[in-house]
């Protein structure tokens, strides 16, 4: 086959498959003529099977367009095969781990309470869990911490596995994905990593905002995403912010994430909180009276994980003391829980302290326009506000000159990075934390 013919076949192929598929799998194909057909070298067994399954038909069609007949096409594994775009590495396909092992037993869809704050996310998740090619691809669920993202994603994973135990599905935190990727790069095992993640029917990645500030991982995830999505494989993601609010996320990823369905989980209503409390208690074999449910649901509003903490405490206390669970007991037990929430340190205190410490004007903290020279103190103050007050990211941003939630996320992540790398920043943080603790 000469260059022209190869180009002809490739361009016919390009018309027949999605652009992402073409980029990842087709661009670098070579063809060797054999008796009455064509041999197509591939890098490893995984690639061979996948291409045989997904590319045979479009490839035969492409040959037909150039040569006028449908030839015999054989995909073969060549040990020395090096597609130009891939890094050379030995293929390493690990035995799949039973995905159920990674799932929390109580995070099932029938134990997920549905209401106005999560109805859309839940409906989309259900539709994906019913299997088949979904229109919600990717499904992107976002919401603050403790509002049920992980529960919902794991519920979908479990339901899909119940329907089809042979489904190639991975549920993982984005952090695990990033760590695997980094290990693969270090050990020269990128092929194996790619083989594992690109051969899935469904990829569910939790807390995708973890990609913020990680360029290499973003790039790799982009290719993973394209490879899967290109073949109509389902991708489900969760994040603590909307795609466009994840700091430093590459534009191409933002637009991919927005191309399916983006659904938000908001803070639950009073009725939902009461229903969740009741369900969590029943799970442990306890029936809470209505007035206790209502009291707790009224007292703890923002975070479901805290609600659960309250149930655990109430039940724990009742079982140890042998007392019946009533309103009085609930009040006693949750007193300290509620006090912790109303932190004695305010954002204003933190701003003052940090400004004093760095000898800058406290107005800098709340200024609308920021000077570059004071960015570290401001970011440290945001970090401390996040760590020591109960304010949401949005509220904290508001108190720092009306900045948005993403700015605070970015500040917190930057400080975490610096804290781990630079002794000097760690020392500032320790000193400031001591000052703040002394104050209260």
Separation CA 408–CA 335 (nearest Å)? 30
Binding segment for ligand ADP (CB under 6 A), chosen from 72-80, 301-309, 374-382, 406-414, is 301-309
Q: Residue from 58, 148, 247, 377 that binds ligand ADP (CB under 6 A)?
A: 148
Interface with ligand ADP, residue 379, by CB under 6 A: no
Using CB under 5 A as the criterion, which residues of the chain lie in contact with Mg ion when the complex forms? 149-150
Query: Which residues fall within 8 angstroms of residue 189, CB to CB, at 6 or more apart?
Result: 89, 90, 92, 183
Distance from C-alpha of 313 to C-alpha of 297, rounded to nearest angstrom:
14
Burial 305-338 (b: 16+ CB within 10 A, else e): ebbbebbebbbebbeeeeeebeeebbeebbeebe
- Extract the runs of DSSP E, i.e. beta strands, from 137-208: 139-142, 169-173, 202-206
- How far apart CA 99 and CA 26 sit, in angstroms, is 30
Q: How far is CA 351 from CA 55, 381, 395, 415, in A?
A: 59, 6, 14, 16
CB nearest ligand ADP: which residue?
A: 148
Query: Residue from 151, 159, 194, 273 that binds ligand ADP (CB under 6 A)?
Result: 151
Distance of alpha carbon 260 from alpha carbon 307, whole angstroms:
32
Q: Is 113 in the site for ligand ADP (CB under 6 A)?
A: yes
Give long-range contacts, CB 8 A cutoff, 24+ apart: 280-284: 280/307, 280/308, 280/311, 281/311, 281/315, 283/106, 283/111, 284/311, 284/315
Question: Binding to ligand ADP by residue 150, rule CB under 6 A?
Answer: yes
Any contact of residue 309 with ligand ADP (CB under 6 A)?
Answer: no
Count the Cβ atoms, other than its own, within 10 Å of residue 196: 20
Residue 141 interacting with ligand ADP (CB under 6 A)? no
Closest approach, Cβ 115 to ligand ADP, in A, equals 7
* Range in contact with ligand ADP (rule: CB under 6 A) among 65-73, 91-99, 148-156, 312-320: 148-156
Residue 146 binding ligand ADP, by CB under 6 A: yes
Pick from 47, 48, 142, 149: which binds ligand ADP (CB under 6 A)?
Answer: 149
The site map against ligand ADP for 271-300 (x = CB under 6 A) is -----x------------------------
Q: What is the largest CA-CA distance in the chain?
A: 87
| 213 interface partner picked from ligand ADP, Mg ion, none, CB below 5 to 8 A per type | none
Q: Tell which one of 66, 89, 93, 145 touches ligand ADP (CB under 6 A).
A: 145
**Which residue number, 284 or 422, has a Cβ lying nearer to ligand ADP?**
284
For the CB of residue 275, give the shortest distance to ligand ADP in the complex, in Å: 8
The length of the chain is 440
> Of 99 and 143, which has the nearer Cβ to ligand ADP?
143
Nearest to 111 by CA among 56, 154, 164, 60: 154
Stretch that binds ligand ADP, among 66-74, 144-152, 179-187, 323-331 (CB under 6 A): 144-152
Binding site for ligand ADP (CB under 6 A): 107, 111-113, 118, 143, 145-151, 276, 304-305, 308
């Amino acid at each position: 086959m000469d260059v022209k013919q190869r180009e002809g076949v490739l361009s016919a192929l390009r018309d027949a498959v999605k652009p992402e598929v073409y980029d990842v799998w087709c661009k670098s194909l070579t063809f060797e003529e054999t008796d009455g057909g064509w041999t197509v070298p591939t890098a490893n067994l995984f690639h061979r099977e996948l291409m045989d399954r997904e590319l045979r038909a479009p490839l035969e069609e492409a040959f037909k367009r150039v040569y006028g007949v449908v030839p015999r096409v054989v995909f073969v594994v060549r040990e020395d095969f090096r597609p130009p775009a891939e890094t050379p590495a030995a293929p390493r396909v690990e035995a799949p781990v039973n995905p159920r092992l990674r799932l929390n037993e109580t995070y099932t869809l029938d134990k997920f309470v549905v209401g106005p704050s999560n109805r859309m996310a839940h409906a989309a998740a259900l539709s994906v869990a019913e299997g088949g090619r979904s229109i919600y691809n990717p499904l992107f669920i976002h919401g603050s911490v403790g509002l049920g993202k992980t529960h919902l994603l794991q519920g979908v994973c479990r339901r899909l596995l119940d329907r089809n135990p042979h489904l190639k599905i991975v549920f993982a935190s984005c952090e695990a994905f990033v760590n695997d990727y980094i290990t693969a790069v270090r050990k020269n095992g990128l092929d194996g990593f790619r083989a594992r993640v690109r051969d899935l029917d469904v990829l569910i990645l939790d807390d995708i905002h973890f990609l913020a500030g990680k360029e290499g991982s973003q790039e790799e995830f982009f290719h993973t995403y394209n490879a899967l999505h290109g073949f109509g494989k389902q991708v489900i993601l969760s994040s603590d912010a909307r795609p466009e609010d994840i700091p430093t996320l590459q534009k191409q990823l933002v637009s991919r994430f927005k191309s399916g369905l983006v659904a938000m989980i908001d803070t639950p209503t009073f009725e939902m909180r009461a229903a969740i409390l009741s369900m969590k208690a029943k799970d442990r074999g306890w029936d809470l009276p209505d007035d206790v449910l209502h009291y707790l649901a009224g007292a703890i509003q923002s975070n479901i994980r805290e609600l659960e903490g309250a149930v655990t405490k109430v039940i724990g206390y009742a079982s140890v003391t042998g007392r019946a669970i009533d309103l009085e007991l609930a009040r006693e037990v949750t007193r300290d829980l509620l006090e912790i929430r109303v932190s004695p340190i305010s954002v204003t205190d933190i701003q003052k302290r940090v400004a004093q410490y760095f000898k800058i004007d406290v107005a800098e903290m709340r200024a609308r326009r920021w000077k570059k020279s004071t960015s570290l103190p401001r970011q440290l103050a945001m970090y401390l506000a996040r760590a020591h007050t109960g304010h949401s990211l949005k509220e904290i941003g508001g108190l720092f000159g009306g900045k948005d939630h993403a700015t605070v996320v970015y500040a917190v992540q930057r400080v975490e990075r610096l804290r781990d790398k630079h002794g000097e920043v760690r020392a500032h943080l320790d000193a400031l934390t001591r000052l703040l603790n002394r104050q209260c």
